[in-house]
Amino acid sequence: QVQLVESGGGLVQAGGSLRLSCAASGRAFSSSVIGWFRQGPGKERTFVAGISRSGGGTYHADSVKGRFTISRDNAKNTVYLQMNSLKPEDTAVYYCAAYSSSRTSIPVYRSPRMYDYWGQGTQVTVSS
């Protein structure tokens, strides 16, 4: 089982930067794929970025590619989302999520339905 806690959200002007953190507890972290998702008001929860268990594989939604970067530090049980050149349309609640498996190779899914564990979310607001 994995428990997740997000932090680092806040209010920032367009063009600014934020770094979100997802701190995990539980023995399954190193065997877990981690994803970042976001949900704006009245919108569905959508994939932002995902990272493989080793950190060697990273994936970003087209809407954030080149601006956001996901990374992980397994020694600290933490995943980060560095967000640069923020836009008002990035405004949302950001969630980290995890799923784990004992299989040798597991994919980074983009569907939130494939993730078993979720944090409580952190609000990111970008003003124009």
Q: H or E segment at 3? A: strand 3-7
Q: pLDDT by residue (tens digit) across 98-126? A: 999 888 889 999 999 999 999 999 999 99
Hey, what are 80's tokens?
């980060």
Asked if 119 contacts 95 with a C-beta cutoff of 8 angstroms, the reply is yes
pLDDT-based confidence at 20, cuts 50/70/90? very high
Asked if 61 contacts 72 with a C-beta cutoff of 8 angstroms, the reply is no
**Cα separations in angstroms, 70 against 41, 59, 102:** 23, 8, 23
Other Cβ atoms less than 10 A from the Cβ of 107: the count is: 13
pLDDT-based confidence at 1, cuts 50/70/90? confident
Residue type, 64: V
For the chain, the average pLDDT equals 95
Q: pLDDT by residue (tens digit) across 34-49? A: 999 999 999 999 999 9
